[in-house]
Amino acid sequence: MNPWPKRQRALSCGRIVPNLEPGWVMRVYCRECGGKCRISSRNDISKEFVSLYCDCQDCGHRFVSHLTFSHTLRPSEQMMDRLVFDRLSSMSRTRQQEIFQQLGANDAR
């Protein structure tokens, strides 16, 4: 029997739970007692990997948990804009003008 309420069930690593409800933040639970933990500090190893230094509020357990980027579900608008810009930049001037004409742009500079 799982001791965690359904919405607080730990994901893959069993320790870090992102609350998916609006206005909620990520929650870290102790692996020893299951109590709520406080993130006392963090070490940003890279843009996609962070070490979280955690303290259990119930049993005093201190530990490091890792948070890492997995994959994109929907690209940001900035990413899409950059992708289109880079793609257009790599094309010849003639091909750029053809595309703009197909899109209905009047002035393809």
Residue 18's pLDDT band (boundaries 50, 70, 90)? low
pLDDT computed for residue 108 by the predictor: 45
Dihedral of CA atoms 73, 78, 80, 81 in degrees, nearest 10, equals 170
pLDDT computed for residue 4 by the predictor: 42
pLDDT computed for residue 105 by the predictor: 63
Ramachandran region of residue 60, left (φ > 0), alpha (ψ -120 to 50) or beta?
A: left
Residue 38's pLDDT band (boundaries 50, 70, 90)? very high
Res 8 pLDDT > 90: no
Cα(37)–Cα(61) distance, rounded to whole angstroms? 9
pLDDT computed for residue 75 by the predictor: 78
pLDDT computed for residue 85 by the predictor: 85
pTM of the prediction? 0.53
Which is higher by pLDDT, 2 or 27?
27
Digit-coded pLDDT (tens) for 59-109: 999 999 999 989 888 877 877 788 888 888 998 999 988 888 988 865 545
Contact 17, 27 (CB under 8 A): yes
